[in-house]
Amino acid sequence: MSAPPKKQSSNAIKFLFGGLSGMGATLVVQPLDLVKTRMQISGAGSGKKEFRNSFHCIQTIIGKEGPLALYQGIGAALLRQATYTTGRLGMYTYLNDQFVERFKHNPGVLHSMAMGTIAGACGAFIGTPAEVALIRMTSDGRLPVAERRNYTNVLNALTRITSEEGITALWRGSLPTVGRAMVVNMTQLASYSQFKAYFRDGPLKMQEGIKLHFCASMLSGLLTTMTSMPLDIAKTRIQNMKTIDGKAEYRGTLDVLFRVARQEGIFALWKGFTPYYCRLGPHTVLTFILLEQLNQGYNKYVINSQKATGL
- Residue 170: what pLDDT? 92
Q: Looking at residue 1, what is its pLDDT?
A: 44
Looking at residue 78, its pLDDT comes to: 92
- pLDDT at residue number 8: 59
pLDDT at 7: 56
DSSP-assigned beta bridge partners for residue 247: 244
What DSSP string describes 110-145?
HHHHHHHHHHHHHHHHHHHHHHHHHHHHHHGGGS-G
141: buried, middle or exposed (CB in 10 Å: 19+, 13-18, 0-12)?
middle
pTM here is 0.69
* Positions in the chain whose pLDDT score sits under 50: 1-3, 5, 308-311
Residue 298 near residue 17, CB atoms below 8 Å: yes
Question: pLDDT tens-digit profile of 164-221?
Answer: 999 999 998 788 888 888 888 888 777 877 888 888 888 888 887 778 878 888 888 8
- CB burial of 60-89 (b: ≥16 within 10 Å; e: otherwise) equals bbeeeeeeebbebbbbbbbbbbbbbbbbbb
Which residues does 106 contact at the CB level (< 8 Å), separation at least 6? 100
What is the predicted pLDDT for the residue at 179?
A: 84
Q: Does domain 11-301 have CATH number 1.50.40.10?
A: yes
Q: Using one digit for the tens of pLDDT, what is the confidence trace for 148-169?
A: 888 888 899 999 999 999 999 9
- 100-113 pLDDT, tens per residue? 888 887 788 888 88
pLDDT value at residue 42:
75
